[in-house]
Amino acid sequence: MQKIKGNKELKEKNKKKGLKAFLKGSKAQIRGVDFSLALLIFVIAFSQVIIVLSNLLIPSLVQMETYSQEQELNKLYSNIFSSEGNPSNWGTIATASLTDFRLGLMGANGDLDFTKINRLTNDISSYWTINYLNVKVAYNMIQDFAVSIYSPISISINDYTAAFGEINLYGEVNEHQTLIEGAEIWAFAIDNNNNVVSNYTTTKDISGSISFRATLIAPETDYYTIVVFAQVGEIYQDYIVKRLVRESSGLEYYFVDFDFRPFVKENTNSPGSAIDVTVERNVLSDEAHAIVVFPFSDLGVDHHKQNLTQETTAEGDIYSGTGISITTNGLAVVVVNERAESTYSAGYIGIPMFQNSIHGGIFAHSSFQDQQTYISKTKMFTIRNVLLKCQIWYW
């Protein structure tokens, strides 16, 4: 009987120990679950804090970076478009002789200087060209930039016919994709013998579309340089230059590229009313002529031309002409025809030479065409009493 009682007490004791162990294990499991839940809540809360901070800080950092870039852009814009640069007369100094150079396109009269603008043209001779990287170094720049100068209006030639000395040009004038009615049009054709013919018309409703048709009756030759000016009001002008060449075995004319790019600068003795022209000379060439065309003046004069002389200078073997008359206001185009034995070649440059894809090319690093993200600034500036848009991209 006592033995049975002892076994019973032992079982009861073991039972209590098992219960205590079970309760102890359960408490440990509860504490583990509590810790896991607390950790999860902490992680979620911390994540929310990170998200909130990110939403607050990242835009602020982006805004700070954008603000810094805008400040740099404004400074660069002022340096290039609102200063004469250094030295102030750098436009007439050969590239190799420029020391402590800083780019600035303003002239002494407070307008943009077309001589300086033309130095940015990407296919002029190395004697005059300005290196993009040199501009960056001079201004201690890390970021890249691009410069563009263009007209607020745009003239285009959409179609043409040319046969037996009659040239018909069909085109339009736009402002931000809006066709402009009543725009004045001056069209010129210059043949390979330096004859100049011109026509004046306006844009109007032609077959339901606002456009122009300019007819030029010229001597029949194998090629022509075509120049067309558009004017809207008194201060908006644009131009387009094309070259028509006839195949030797046929009658059809085609638009082709020009052969070279002359350089033009203001004449120091008659600034504003005369220019000097130079162009690298073909070693086989016999003669060259410069023809300056511009919208009709009140006197009815629409062009000047001059024979160029052969010279050997620091610029190399060149053709040059000095003191060629131009109008004091408005845009102009200088065409140079060069004869080499029995063949002819031609080149042109604008006053000023626009920095865009059609004419002089945008002044920029070669990677600019692939650039997708940038900030930019555009303002209107006057040159020769014509308003032009001047834009800088910065990235």
Q: Are 365 and 376 in contact (CB under 8 A)?
A: no
Residue 155: the pLDDT is 98
Residue 56: how many other CB atoms lie within 10 Å: 10
The residues, any chain, with a CB within 8 Å of residue 353's CB and separated by 6 or more, are 114, 117, 118, 120, 121, 359, 360
* pLDDT per 10-residue tile (average), the chain, 395 residues: 56 60 58 70 73 61 61 94 96 94 94 96 94 93 93 97 96 96 98 96 96 97 96 96 89 94 95 94 92 84 95 96 94 96 92 92 85 89 95 93
Terminal-residue alpha carbon distance, the chain: 101
The residues, any chain, with a CB within 8 Å of residue 277's CB and separated by 6 or more, are 262, 263, 264, 290, 308, 319, 320, 321, 324, 334, 336
User: What amino acid is encoded at 269 in this protein?
Assistant: N
Give the CA distances from residue 394 to residues 113, 357, 370, 371, in Å, rounded to whole numbers and listed in that order: 23, 18, 13, 10
Report the predicted TM-score, pTM, of the whole model to 2 decimal places: 0.83
Residue 40: the pLDDT is 75
**Integer Cα distance of 357 and 179 in angstroms:** 21
Burial category of 392 from C-beta neighbours within 10 Å (exposed 0-12, middle 13-18, buried 19 and up): buried
Which tokens go with 207? 């077959």
Residue 322: the pLDDT is 97
The residues, any chain, with a CB within 8 Å of residue 242's CB and separated by 6 or more, are 157, 225, 226, 255
Q: Are 300 and 291 in contact (CB under 8 A)?
A: no
